[in-house]
Chain A
Amino acid sequence: MKATKKTQAEEQSFSKNIQTYLSFRLDKETFAVNVHKVLNILELKPITKVPQSPPYMRGVINLRGNVLPVIDMRVKFGMEQIQATPDTCIIVLNVDINGEEVMLGILVDAVSEVLQIDEEKIEPSPSIGTRYKAEFIKGMWRDTEETFIMLLNIDLIFSTDEIITLQNKTEEAQEVKE
């Protein structure tokens, strides 16, 4: 709990409107997480699969003597499983799951770059017609090459056990109708 407070304080003192994000690639799409959540970036290493676990749980690795769960972000977002390439990375994150701090690794196709993002330029994600549930996306940001980067609300993504899939769209559509 102490650590959460600290990061929040840091966030505030760092800047009122400029935030640093780490972007990464999943298939053809680019996502980004706030660097305050990032602890480490690791090369891909052998992952021990835990039997009978959900498909997006790739398994566990040894992180300096601790057991770290690794999540395949592609599967979590309803895409094909990640195939190992030289670019494949594990980003170690410290996320807040229902008030509890949990360390975990996410498997991504590649880590792209560190971005300085002006909070005011973040555009809200439209709630209808998108692939992902709006609550998981903090907003969209357009980089210099005019490609959209999705800024993730990483705490919320891991608070749910389900795979975040396309099916959520129909649910949302229904909700809108009601």
Chain B
Amino acid sequence: MNDKFKDKFKEEASELIAELEQLVLRLDQNRSDSQIIEEVFRVMHSLKGGSAMFGFDLIDKLTHLLENIYDKIRNNELKINDDILEVTLNVVDHLRNLLEETPANRNELEKTNNKFIKWIEDILSARPKQTDPVNQGEENLNDYRPISTYYIAFYPSLDFFADGSNPLFLIDDLWQLGELIMYTDYQHIPSLQEIVPTNCYIGWKILIASRKGINDLMDVFIFVNNRTRVEVHKISETNLLISEPQRKILLETLQKKDVNTLEQLTTLARDLEKIQEEVEEKNQRRTTQTVQTGEQAISSIRVSSEKLDNLINWVSELVTIQAQLSLYAQQNHYPGLTPIAEEIEKITRRLRDDVFSIRLIPVANMLTRFQRLVRELSHNLNKEVVFETKGTETELDKNIIEMLADPIMHIIRNSMDHGIEDTAEERIRKGKSPQGKITFNAFYSGTNVYIQIIDDGRGIDLKKVKKKAIEKGLISHEAELSHKELLDLVFLPGFSTATNVTNLSGRGVGMDVVKRKIADLRGQVEIESQENVGTTVTIKLPLTLSIIDGLLVKIDNTHIVIPLNSVYKVFEYKHEYINNAINNLILADGNHIPHIYLRKYFEFTTPPPPIERVVTIEFNDYYMGITVDEIVGEYQAVLKPLGKFYKNQEFFSGATILGDGTVALVLDPNKLIEEYAKNEVKIG
């Protein structure tokens, strides 16, 4: 009995831990949001309460201490900093281990626990020292000073270069102090005849958002000669450079000629401050709203995924039986049976759709670990990278989401490691923002879900790819490959372009594994890249794993289902035409299309029918025909695994039960074509 409750607690605790992790990551983005801090506090409190009750004393101890930190933050005695976030995230990981506590690993866990306790105590005790101005570094003080916006007018004197000064160095110094936008003023450059090459005619108007005081900013210009005009004015107590549209407006004001820039800026600053206040208020209102809706969501109930799996199995069987009933009603004309069969078909379909939708969960559920990955890697690699997500409400089958996490982790790791440039300078030189960006984008299209991982890094060097492929003997020297074909090379096993093997990626187990894992989910992966613009990896997935719309075809007495989403068109030919086709090409819609003669490929020995059908399939941008005896019709196939005895028949993704109780095989056209191409023996 006790164990049952304990398991229940574990389940709940791991959810709380996941929630905590998410909250901490949100806190990282939004460090002063008291609402999030309150939430963190609440989650930790429930975790503490439960763990004490069920004898997880290590968790109890640790969360209690951590709670102290957040209590202080709540009471404004402490400010969130990297150290606190770091320790919290590490504790989150550790808490997960603690849940799996056994007498055997207790000692080890206790040791780690004590390490964390010490860390937390350090944080707790270190802070009071801050009131002591001697121990406190200048930088720490700055951390607490709010960001202000300053206007700097910097007009070097004509002979500025004479003593070896360089105005650009000073502007570089300013970059270190905060975010800035600037306008370079060329209007004092004389006409070409009058120009003196050693004179400096250029001036700068700069807006900087910084935590530093006005004196720190003046200090940058401490060594310039006194003929140079330097003005520094504080125009706002807030960060005016916070959003892109605001920057644009401010930049426009800077560019205006022959006006009192300072005066204009101060009035504009007033307006912008007002707008910002309004926006903040609105945001706050919104967060309170979301908190409320969050509470309303309690009307949902928790069901074990095992029960859900059972439900789905039963519905799948019901779909099968219903197909049998429809077939029976069709063959036997009992009055009254047909409408009943039709009604049942309708209801079954709706039931099926509803039940399958239960298993769909939003992709947002897997984003936390990616956020953490990006955060950790940007630390380790010393690259500043923001992780953006779009379409997180897109829903996918729970099983797919679980199996998708690893491949996406790998893709993001690749983007972080190889994609994003090594230094901010390199990015600025290329005209990009110093911060790298990785975007996770999910959206629906038809019966598929697309997930894209987009980075704005240096892109894939195709020359390198080609060189590597030749080195590895994957392609020949003379091979002329298109842009896409070159990119596809990265999916080949044992291919990795990184010159240095790092501990993150580049071990040669790479995109081929990603591709295989996604293929296991009946998905496809594509890569698009432009040098210096970035790389986009697109994953295309079916909405659910267990049901597919298919085209039912027949060869001899064997029924085969071809997934409808890969079928393009169906053509009809006399057997002689197909038999005599030159170079295995048949004419369809005016195009010559190669085809796979399934009868032969699948070793059927019975005589072929006089008329055969060719189903054309879209495969990697070209068409391929699959020749069968007969088309039976459309069929909703409930996919059943073929089992381990048929693991070598990869061109079948499974089997399905037909209305008459026999088994039809479900074809995976992509695998079939790949396999066929591999085994093809060319003459000549």
Contacts and interface: CB of A to CB of B under 8 A. Distances in A.
Interface stretch (A12-20, A60-68, A125-133, A164-172): A60-68
Given A60-B663, A67-B642, A102-B643, A48 B558 contact: yes
Given A62-B657, A66-B640, A104 B645 contact: yes
B602 A67 contact: no
A26 B504 CA distance: 57
Interface string A17-29: 0000000000000
B83 interface: no
Contact of B648 (A48, A53, A66): A53
Counting chain B residues whose Cβ lies within 8 A of the other chain, the interface size class is 20 to 34
Given A48-B664, A51-B604, 15 more contacts: A46-B662, A48-B655, A50-B642, A50-B665, A51-B603, A53-B645, A53-B648, A57-B646, A62-B661, A65-B317, A65-B657, A67-B654, A67-B663, A69-B642, A69-B645
B643 A50 contact: no
Contacts of A53: 645-646, 648-649
Nearest to B604: A51
B645 A67 contact: no
Interface residues of A, number: 22
Given A48-B662, A61-B663, A62-B662, A69 B646 contact: yes
B146 interface: no
Report, nearest first, the 5 A-B pairs whose CB atoms are least far apart. A51-B602, A48-B663, A65-B317, A69-B645, A67-B640
The residue among A48, A64, A71 with the most chain B CB atoms within 10 A of its own CB is A48
A142 interface: no
Contact of B559 (A48, A57, A65, A97): A48
A49 interface: yes
The residue among A46, A53, A62 with the most chain B CB atoms within 10 A of its own CB is A62
A60 B655 contact: yes
Interface string A32-58: 000000000000001011111100010
B111 interface: no
Interface string B583-621: 000000000000000000111100000000000000000
B579 to A, nearest CB: 20
A65 B322 CA distance: 12
A65 B310 CA distance: 13
Contacts of B601: 51
Given A48-B559, A53-B648, A69 B664 contact: no
Nearest to B556: A49
A100 interface: yes
A126 B603 CA distance: 40
Contact of B603 (A52, A60, A100): A52
A64 B321 CA distance: 10
Contact of A52 (B557, B602, B645): B602
18 contacts: A48-B558, A49-B558, A50-B646, A51-B603, A52-B602, A52-B603, A57-B645, A60-B642, A60-B646, A60-B655, A60-B665, A67-B663, A69-B643, A97-B644, A102-B644, A102-B645, A104-B643, A104-B645
B641 A51 contact: no
A62 B655 CA distance: 10
B450 interface: no
B663 A62 contact: yes
A62 B642 CA distance: 11
Contacts of B648: 52-53
B665 A48 contact: yes
Contacts of A71: 645
B71 to A, nearest CB: 46
A46 B558 CA distance: 10
Interface string B644-684: 11101100101101000111110000000000000000000
Contacts of A102: 643-645
Nearest to B675: A52
B148 interface: no
A61 B317 CA distance: 15
B149 interface: no
Contacts of A100: 644
Nearest to B652: A50
Contacts of A67: 640-643, 654-655, 657, 663
A65 B316 contact: yes
The residue among B317, B643, B649, B664 with the most chain A CB atoms within 10 A of its own CB is B643
B88 interface: no
Contacts of B655: 48, 60, 67
